[in-house]
A = this chain, B = another copy of it.
Amino acid sequence: MMDRLDKQIEFIVEIDKLKGIIRRSYLTGCDRLENSAEHSWHVSILAMILAEHSDLEINLFKVVRMLLVHDIVEIDAGDTYFFDEKGNTDKVEREKNAAKRLFDLLPPDQEKEFREAWEEYEARLTNEARFAYALDRFIPILHSYFTQGKSWKQHRVKLEKVMTLIDPIREGSEALSQYATRLFKKAVEKGYLEE
Decide yes or no whether A48 CB sits under 8 A from chain B. yes
Segment from A62-70, A88-96, A150-158 that makes contact with B: A62-70
Which of these, B19, B48, B68, contacts A27 with CB under 8 Å?
A: B19
Decide yes or no whether A15 CB sits under 8 A from chain B. yes
Question: Does B142 lie within 8 Å of A13, measured CB to CB?
Answer: yes
Question: Does A146 lie within 8 Å of B15, measured CB to CB?
Answer: no
Decide yes or no whether A127 CB sits under 8 A from chain B. no
8 A Cβ contacts from A79-134 to B: 106, 110
| Chain B residues positioned under 8 Å from A166 (CB to CB) | none
Which of these, B20, B45, B110, B179, contacts A49 with CB under 8 Å?
A: B110
- In the complex, how many angstroms separate the beta carbon of A104 from the nearest chain B beta carbon? 14
Decide yes or no whether A40 CB sits under 8 A from chain B. yes
| Chain B residues positioned under 8 Å from A38 (CB to CB) | 18-19, 35, 37-38, 41
- In the complex, how many angstroms separate the beta carbon of A132 from the nearest chain B beta carbon? 14
Decide yes or no whether A44 CB sits under 8 A from chain B. yes
Proximity string of chain A (45-64) to chain B, C-beta cutoff 8 Å, 1 when within and 0 when not: 11011100100000011001
| Chain B residues positioned under 8 Å from A163 (CB to CB) | none
| Chain B residues positioned under 8 Å from A12 (CB to CB) | 42, 45-46, 49, 139, 142
Decide yes or no whether A188 CB sits under 8 A from chain B. no
Question: Does B175 lie within 8 Å of A1, measured CB to CB?
Answer: yes
Q: By CB atoms of chain B within 10 A, which of A9, A35, A41, A45 has the most?
A: A41
Please report the C-alpha to C-alpha distance between residue A142 and residue B8 in the assembled complex, in whole angstroms.
12
| Chain B residues positioned under 8 Å from A41 (CB to CB) | 18, 37-38, 40-41, 44, 68
Can you report 14 A-B residue pairs in the complex whose CB atoms are below 8 A from each other?
Answer: A5-B179, A8-B49, A16-B28, A16-B42, A18-B38, A18-B41, A19-B38, A20-B29, A37-B38, A37-B42, A41-B68, A60-B61, A61-B61, A64-B68
